[in-house]
Amino acid sequence: MIDKMKGNVQKTTVYIQPDIKDYSVISFDKGKEIIVKGEEASFAVYEKLKQLVNHDFPYRKPKLKLISDSILVSDIEVNEMKNFTSTYVKGKLRFKPGSLITYTKLQNGINNINGTQNFNAITYALQPLGNAEQLVLNLKENDTKTQLKLGLHYDGLYKSAVLANITQKNLLIKNDNSSLDLIIGDNFRYNFNYYVDNGYNISFGFKSSLNQFDRSISQTIQVAKKWTKNFH
């Protein structure tokens, strides 16, 4: 690497080498001093640098182009998928075609899609479409559809139990998600939830649950007597 650098130095028209031998890669607190050393080395060869300037076409610093922090998304295109529809994805973006959004809102929408954990990879691009932009999404589905979680539980009311949670995606149709909680022990319980997420379109679902327990309850009955005496 050093030998190659020496060869490049020989090919350089003007080689500027500041005197920084007293500094190292950890001289973070000497930044201003190092910059001054660089300026001094540059001014030493200033006349040589002037000779390199094309006076017929002098360099002019280009004007900064103002870029808006908002974009008009006129269309959203989503690749075809096996287990999810485009309406599901558009709902997770939380903005509709024809919306004027900020880049932050766009990034938040992409993060929402990623947060579902339904996709292994997400790529997107903005393509000019008239006076607006077309958002093109390419999603790779997650092959994992079923998750099983196990645990143990004990309390004074329900006593001991084995906990099991089964989550299944795409049980019946696209976009659906089902979850079953089983509590097996002294007092059997369950919670079942089924939901179809169609984004901005009508979504639906249902739930079923059972919660029961047996416990002896003691009750004390107090009897009070009242004596009344009449005086004549």
Q: How far apart are CA 61 and CA 169, in angstroms?
A: 56
Residue 166 and residue 115 share a domain: no
Find out whether 9 and 15 touch, Cβ atoms under 8 Å: yes
Residue 137 and residue 74 share a domain: yes
Domains held by the chain: number? 3
Q: Is residue 58 part of a domain?
A: no
Q: Is residue 6 part of a domain?
A: no
Residue 91 and residue 118 share a domain: yes
Q: Is residue 1 part of a domain?
A: no
- DSSP 8-state secondary structure symbol assigned to residue 202: -
Q: Is residue 120 part of a domain?
A: yes
Q: Which two tokens stand for residue 191?
A: 């919670």
Q: Is residue 130 part of a domain?
A: yes
- Residue 97's domain is classified under what CATH number? 3.10.20.310
Q: Tens-digit pLDDT profile for the chain (232 aa)?
A: 567 777 788 888 888 889 898 898 888 888 899 999 999 999 999 988 888 888 788 878 888 877 778 999 999 999 999 999 999 999 999 999 999 999 999 999 999 999 999 999 999 999 999 999 999 999 999 999 999 999 998 887 778 889 999 999 999 999 999 999 999 988 889 999 999 999 999 999 999 999 876 666 555 555 555 454 554 4
| Structural domain boundaries, residue 134 | 70-141
Q: Is residue 2 part of a domain?
A: no
Q: Is residue 47 part of a domain?
A: yes
Residue 162 and residue 133 share a domain: no
Q: Is residue 229 part of a domain?
A: no
Nearest alpha carbon to residue 158 among 211, 209, 219: 211
pTM to 2 decimal places: 0.61
Which of 100, 119, 141 terminates a domain? The answer is 141
Tell how far CA 66 is from the center of its chain. Answer: 28
| Spatial CB neighbours of 45, under 8 Å, sequence gap ≥ 6 | 14, 16
- DSSP 8-state secondary structure symbol assigned to residue 112: H
Residue 98 and residue 42 share a domain: no
Residue 191 and residue 155 share a domain: yes
Q: Vertex 144, ends 143 and 145: CA angle to 5°? A: 110
Q: Vertex 74, ends 70 and 79: CA angle to 5°? A: 110
DSSP assignment string, 22-65: T--TT-GGGHHHHHHHHHHHHHHTHHHHHHTS-TTS---PPPPP
Residue 133 and residue 101 share a domain: yes
Burial class (CB in 10 A: 0-12, 13-18, 19+), 14: exposed
Would you state the pLDDT for residue 218? 58
Residue 136 and residue 78 share a domain: yes
Residue 120 and residue 89 share a domain: yes
Residue 158 and residue 133 share a domain: no
Residue 105 and residue 44 share a domain: no
Element housing 166 (H / E):
strand 159-169
Instruction: Centre a 10 Å sphere on the Cβ of residue 157 and count the other Cβ atoms it contains.
Output: 8
At residue 92, what is the residue type? K
pLDDT tens profile 186-218: 888 999 999 999 999 999 999 999 987 666 655
Residue 172 and residue 114 share a domain: no
Map residue 111 onto helix, strand or coil: helix
